[in-house]
Chain A
Amino acid sequence: MSSNRVVHSGGGSTLGDILERVLDKGVVIAGDISIAVADVELLTIKIRLVVASVDKAMEMGIDWWKADPALSSEAYRKQEKENLKREKAEMIEAEPEKPWTRRRSRRTEAETGEDW
């Protein structure tokens, strides 16, 4: 369908993709039960989550979702607070700046628009 390099139609799906959806998502009809229920007699199964959690990513320092207002309503406020704190701390420390210790400000770089 497409000769696109990055797009895999159908064939490219991995076990991860499948497990993530099949085990973790989908309409749950009878919640957390493992045998027939009283009113609608049906069987469903509680599946333990096989997919790894967000915690693992946080360990790796991947935290973009914290900065996404759609994902975290507090993200923006938090970031602002942190920036303020950092600025204050920097002012107090007022260390002479060395090229290899300068912490690049993520916000400002993120906001420089097109160039990424």
Chain B
Amino acid sequence: MDKEKEQENRSRDRRRLVMKEKGLYVYGFVGERIDAGGCTGIDRANSVGLLRCGEVYAVVSEVDLNEFGHPYIDENLENIGWLKDKAELHMEVLNEALKYTQVIPLKFCTIFYNEDKVNEFAQEHKDYLTENLSYLRNKEEWSCKVYWDKKSYIKNLVEKDSLEAEEKCEKLSKGTAYFMRRKLEKEYNERAIDKANIITEKVLETLKRIVLEVKTSKILAKEITGRMEDMLLNCALLIDTNNKEGFLQEIDKLGSKVESKGLIFEVNGPWPPYNFIKNLE
């Protein structure tokens, strides 16, 4: 048998071996036994279960490594449809667990070879997991976003001024009027941005007063938010569950205020505490 063919056969055997392998997808850890039964896993086939690891429990489901393992996963990640579907399923599982108890969420597609390995990890990082869980007990993560439709915002902001300025422009020569209008456009733009920055600063200030912790996140592009308006502020809030009603009331007040300024205000939650877990060193 020639060498090339032999090598080809061998690598095919190896592939086959990989294809038979199963992995254990770990969504996160919880501090108590919960009823996660019936929830469909990230592969839409295996169901989600709990794996006891000493004092904590891993939220897991079995996956095929020929979909979630290397190198297949690399290709799947390139596929935005696959990514979207799996990210949503991952979040769904965590949200289901969140209905019962606090969760330490793991990064998307964290897959262990088997139960022993999950256990090994949990034992090794026992303190880390229990510290995070105890810190986040009776707390919830929420999100707060502010958007604006810049064009209509500017229009409303400078309406009166722009009418007056336009009257003045009409008295000027054509060339001068042109430059004046360009100058004004720039000025209006700056004014709107200044104003928006002030409002977002005020929103942050207020949020810091009414929640336990505020963490700012990246501004997301329209392609991701799926909104026509641009995002101005994106932050995560950590609230005290015992004071949830008070939080919601304050948020309602703040929201009304922001919206009266012509901006869009949105609050969402609760989320798994992605922004407030301390990560492993």
Q: Which residue of B lies closest to A106 (CB)?
A: B194
Q: Which residue of B lies closest to A23 (CB)?
A: B108
Interface set, chain A 69-108, CB cutoff 8 A to B: 70-71, 99-101, 103-104, 106
Tell me, yes or no, whether A52 is within 8 Å of chain B by CB: yes
Tell me, yes or no, whether B49 is within 8 Å of chain A by CB: no
Interface set, chain B 173-201, CB cutoff 8 A to A: 180, 183-184, 187, 189-191, 193-194, 196-201
Complex-state Cα separation, A19 to B108, whole angstroms? 9
Complex-state Cα separation, A71 to B110, whole angstroms? 30
Q: Determine the chain B residues whose CB is within 8 A of the CB of A22 once the complex forms.
A: 87, 90-91, 107-108, 274
CB distance from A17 to the nearest CB of B (A): 6
Cβ–Cβ contact B113 & A103, under 8 A: no
Interface residue SS majority, chain A: loop
Cβ–Cβ contact B106 & A103, under 8 A: no
Residue from B105, B234, B248 in contact with A27 in the complex, judged by beta carbons closer than 8 Å: B105
Cβ–Cβ contact A103 & B230, under 8 A: no
On whether A19 and B77 interact (CB within 8 A), knowing A4-B248, A4-B252, the answer reads no
Q: Which residue of A lies closest to B181 (CB)?
A: A100
CB distance from A41 to the nearest CB of B (A): 5
Category for how many chain A residues contact B: 35 or more
Complex-state Cα separation, A106 to B192, whole angstroms? 11
Cβ–Cβ contact A27 & B112, under 8 A: no
Tell me, yes or no, whether B31 is within 8 Å of chain A by CB: no
Complex-state Cα separation, A13 to B95, whole angstroms? 11
CB distance from A94 to the nearest CB of B (A): 19
Complex-state Cα separation, A54 to B218, whole angstroms? 6
Complex-state Cα separation, A15 to B88, whole angstroms? 8
Complex-state Cα separation, A100 to B51, whole angstroms? 67
Complex-state Cα separation, A21 to B276, whole angstroms? 11
- Report A's interface with B, CB cutoff 8 A: 2, 4-10, 12-29, 34-36, 40-45, 47-48, 50-54, 56-57, 60-65, 67-68, 70-71, 99-101, 103-104, 106, 109-110, 116
- Report B's interface with A, CB cutoff 8 A: 23, 28, 65, 68-70, 73-74, 77, 83-84, 87-88, 90-91, 95, 104-113, 117, 120-121, 124, 143, 150, 161, 165, 180, 183-184, 187, 189-191, 193-194, 196-202, 204, 208, 216-221, 223-226, 230-234, 248, 251-252, 255, 259, 261, 265-272, 274-275, 277, 279-280
Contacts A17-B268, A42-B117 aside, 13 further interface pairs with beta carbons under 8 A come to A6-B255, A7-B252, A18-B91, A21-B275, A26-B105, A27-B110, A36-B113, A45-B73, A51-B220, A51-B224, A62-B232, A64-B200, A109-B194
